[in-house]
Amino acid sequence: MYAQLVETGVKRVKDLAEMTPEERAFQERIDAEIKIEPKNWMPDAYRQTLIRQISQHAHSEIVGMLPEGNWLTRAPTLKRKLQLMAKIQDEAGHGMYLYSAMETLGADRDTEIAKLHSGRAKYSSIFNYPTLNWADMGAVGWLVDGAAIVNQVVLQRTSYGPYARAMIRICKEESFHQRQGYEILLTMMRHGTQAQQDMVQDAINRLWWPALMMFGPSDADSPNSAQSLAWKIKRMGNDELRQRFIDQTVPQLEFLGCTAPDPDLKWSAARGHYDFGQIDWQEFYEVLKGNGPCNRERITTRRKALEDGQWVREAAVAHAAKRQQKQSTA
Ligand code: BYC
């Protein structure tokens, strides 16, 4: 298994024979499916890769609250508002578990958040697209959380213990998110007016391709995949996960009575998978560079939230200091 992985991806991965004794013992532990825990020795590049991926993942959860927050005040019923609020709160919780998992690697939360706010850290490209109508809340839950689950289910087996354990609860919650999204769309398609049904198709047309981009570039163009697969940080390649998502999602799309904006999407009996059209990677890289429709708005909103909460943090620190002073003089 390991020998095969050395050959994949755009970067070559060190062979066992080329490793130092410490690196070899580390790799053998990974190959034996033994989790790496915070106090175990690990190569610095393993630590840095995890800090990069987990911090990006945490930022995605936090920035991912914004497109949905946009619809809280306009949810059509009290029930829908409660569901949406619960989902958004779950995303905040996911961000917190993930920042905590990242801290076990020695990274500093404030430093990583400062990188996000200065545009130096990435977060999922999908959250740089706007949510224009209520059906987008259904499509985000169904497609975006649906794609997130496909990626995260395999991350439950990632080699770093704290990350793998955080994923277990996150996956359970994402599963509820996906279902609530699909149910919004199903209700609109089964009981809605023509205008509401058109809104569903419009939301799918806009979010379909960006959802497929969530899995990252093709493995052949992914600079991190080969090493991350060898270290079992990633358990499946970007293309394999994307294909798995498409295969799961198309029957749900058909059940809704909607179509994908992809004329090349069709079942291939020979492959046992759906074939699909070319992803616009130029658009993906533009979004990563900060030129998506909402990049600036998202970061400005996050920065403002941090500034607005400054007095709360100062009050909490002052209160804690006062309490400590009282205890030490008692
Ligand atoms: N957006 O070598 P690659 C959620 C970057 S869902 C932005 O394949 P890697 C939520 C990548 O970082 C989303 N950037 O990288 C759902 C790398 O750049 P750097 C969060 C992307 O890391 C609903 C470069 O492109 N899920 O949270 O091996 C509501 C080359 O890529 C993207 C996760 O984060 C993208 N889509 O694989 C609320 C899952 N794709 O860092 C919230 C955990 C790639 O070298 N993460 N890039 O400068 C992963 O599984 C992996 O990091 C990825 C990328 C598969 C995403």
pLDDT at 303 over 80: yes
For residues 213-229, give the mean pLDDT: 96
- C-alpha angle with apex 54: 51 to 57, nearest 5 degrees? 140
Q: 329 CA to middle of ligand 1, Å?
A: 50
Q: 319 CA to middle of ligand 1, Å?
A: 39
Q: What digits encode the pLDDT tens for the residues 181-212?
A: 999 999 999 999 999 999 999 999 999 999 99
Residue nearest atom 23 in ligand 1 by C-alpha distance: 145
For residues 155-166, give the mean pLDDT: 98
pLDDT at 130 over 80: yes
Q: What digits encode the pLDDT tens for the residues 64-77?
A: 999 999 999 999 99
Compute the distance between CA of residue 289 and CA of residue 189 in angstroms, rounded to an integer. 36
49 lines ligand 1 (CB under 6 A): no
Residue recorded with tokens 């915070």:
38
Q: Give 10's pLDDT tier (boundaries 50, 70, 90).
A: low
pLDDT at 2 over 70: no
The partner residues of 267 in beta bridges, in order of sequence, read 274
Backbone angles phi, psi at 191, to 5 degrees: -120, 0
Q: 125 CA to middle of ligand 1, Å?
A: 8
Q: Give 16's pLDDT tier (boundaries 50, 70, 90).
A: confident
3-state secondary structure of 36: strand
pLDDT at 322 over 80: yes
For residues 32-45, give the mean pLDDT: 97
Residue nearest atom 40 in ligand 1 by C-alpha distance: 216
Q: 205 CA to middle of ligand 1, Å?
A: 22
Q: What digits encode the pLDDT tens for the residues 85-114?
A: 999 999 999 999 999 999 999 999 999 999
- Six-digit token string for 117: 């706010």
pLDDT attached to residue 11: 64
- How does the average pLDDT of the chain come out, rounded? 95
Helix 109-117 vs helix 78-103: crossing angle, to nearest 10: 120
Ligand 1 probe mutation, 49, 53, 178, most atoms within 8 A of CB: 53
